[in-house]
Chain A
Amino acid sequence: MKGTFLWRNRVLLSAGALLVISLHLLTTGLNRGDYAAAPALAMLEVMRPVQAAAAHLGDGACAIVHNYLDLVQVQQENTRLRAKIAQLETQQAEIAELKTENQHLGELLELHDALGLNAVAANVIGSDATGLSHTLILGQGSLSGLRPGMAVLSNLGVVGRIIDTSKHAARVLLIDDHNSALDGFDERSRARGIIAGVVDDGIIMKYVDRSEDLKPGDTIVTSGLDGIFPRGLLVGTVASVHREGPGLFLAVQVRPAVDFHALEQVLIVTQQTPSPPPDVRG
């Protein structure tokens, strides 16, 4: 057999025959439902489990990849949104702060206009370091025209007076400090006294004659006689009046009008206060 024409050309002949068969299949336009197409359909059936498994795996893999990508995207979006929220919250806080500051400055401006005196607004930048005395630190100093002894006010009333100044800062002695004293009177009864701080927190009105008609709830205002505070500024209200006990004077407890812990902006009167009219009993 070997060495014959057929053997020598077996590959060529068999491949040629197969090519002819292929062309026959092709040219006769074999339908997929025909008998000769049955092996192809059988192959489809044989391949189906593998393809189904591959598709399943592919779906799973794609789902994992897509889920992962989505997760990464969501995480990035989340981070971005968190940053945005933080930024917006900061902006919101700043706006609220500016709104409050604007309101305070507006009230101080009204007070400034009402006083008719030269005054400078300043921010409160600190409080007393020890807590033993009651002082505040302002963000304006001598370069802004502040001098020791100047009256410090808020829109709610009297705050204190400046005791020290540097170029860019000033220290304010609050009226509830035990070293503080100012001249004031009861707006209703016109009874005069010295308003001073006490060590154990609070303000009292000293040297009020026992015969004076002071009642709780009365308004105490500055008299202007001390030469520091302009006349008629609100100091506080009478919290209690004690007539019992020995002594020449009443024990009057005053509730300050200003919440010293909540102060943010204050007004400093830089002009010397005009002398008050003599209608106060003392």
Chain B
Amino acid sequence: MRLSILFAVLAYLALAIETSIPYWVQTRVLIPNLIVILAVDLGLRHHGVIPALIAFAMGYATDAFSGSALGINAFLITAVYLLTYEISSRLLVTNAAVGATFVFVGVIVTSVGALVLGDGSAGFAAVGPMLTSFAANAAVSALVAPAVFRFVAILKRMVGLPVSLARE
């Protein structure tokens, strides 16, 4: 329950930032994808049905604030959570650098996925030209990710949630 509330608040803040900052900063690629970072944090540290539901809810919330069809981001953020969970559970070491790598890949996956799922064949054609900006946004998100992980860890400690990496 604490995890759900914490991530609900974090997702709320993340979406508030993501939807407000473009109002000030015109260069969209400079704004990190905080929802993906949160999904990666969930995938790295919280393995269970509730975290999966939280990831889905965060994706669904992203859909609510985007112009894409409902379900695209729900699908993609859940997929990022699942991928992070699957890979991290097989890694011996999962530090902040690994988390940042997950975030980098996750942002590219969600960006390309949203384009392809949303626009079909036209989306496929647009992936090539858009890939540079996706990579830039992914890099910015990856750079920000360790700080976000630390911030989330502090909040988790405050509410009494485990901070260490989840191991099966």
Chain A residues in the interface with B (C-beta under 8 A): 10-12, 14-16, 18-19, 21-27, 29-30, 32, 36-37, 39-41, 43-44, 46-47, 50-51, 54-55, 58, 61-62
Contacts and interface: CB of A to CB of B under 8 A. Distances in A.
A61 B64 CA distance: 27
A19 B70 contact: no
A47 B82 CA distance: 27
B61 A26 contact: no
B81 interface: yes
Contacts of B19: 47, 51, 54
Contact of A11 (B15, B20, B49, B75): B49
A16 B52 CA distance: 9
A34 B56 CA distance: 19
B34 interface: no
Given A11-B85, A62-B24, A47 B65 contact: yes
A11 B52 contact: yes
A44 B64 contact: yes
Contact of B65 (A18, A21, A22, A43): A43
Contacts of A21: 56, 71, 74
B79 interface: yes
B82 A19 contact: yes
Contact of A30 (B51, B70, B81): B70
A27 B52 CA distance: 21
Contact of A18 (B61, B63, B72, B78): B78
From A29, A36, A43, name the one whose CB has the most chain B CB atoms within 10 angstroms.
A43
Given A26-B117, A40-B61, A54-B23, 9 more contacts: A11-B85, A12-B86, A18-B56, A22-B71, A22-B72, A26-B72, A27-B71, A50-B16, A54-B19
A51 B20 contact: yes
A27 B71 CA distance: 9
A41 to B, nearest CB: 7
Contacts of B55: 15, 18
B71 A23 contact: yes
B156 interface: no
Interface in B5-41: 12, 15-16, 19-20, 23-24
B24 A58 contact: yes
Interface residues of B, number: 34
Contacts of A36: 70
Interface of B: 12, 15-16, 19-20, 23-24, 47-49, 51-53, 55-56, 59-61, 63-65, 69-72, 74-75, 78-79, 81-82, 85-86, 117
B168 to A, nearest CB: 8
A44 B72 CA distance: 17
Contact of A40 (B49, B53, B70, B78): B70
Contacts of A50: 12, 16, 20
A137 B96 CA distance: 88
22 contacts: A11-B85, A12-B82, A14-B48, A15-B52, A15-B78, A15-B82, A16-B82, A19-B78, A19-B79, A21-B74, A22-B59, A26-B72, A37-B70, A47-B12, A47-B15, A47-B65, A50-B12, A51-B16, A54-B16, A54-B23, A55-B20, A58-B20
Contacts of B12: 46-47, 50
A19 B61 CA distance: 15
Contacts of A22: 56, 59, 71-72, 74-75, 78
A26 B65 contact: no
A26 B85 contact: no
From A16, A19, A55, A61, name the one whose CB has the most chain B CB atoms within 10 angstroms.
A19
B47 A11 contact: yes
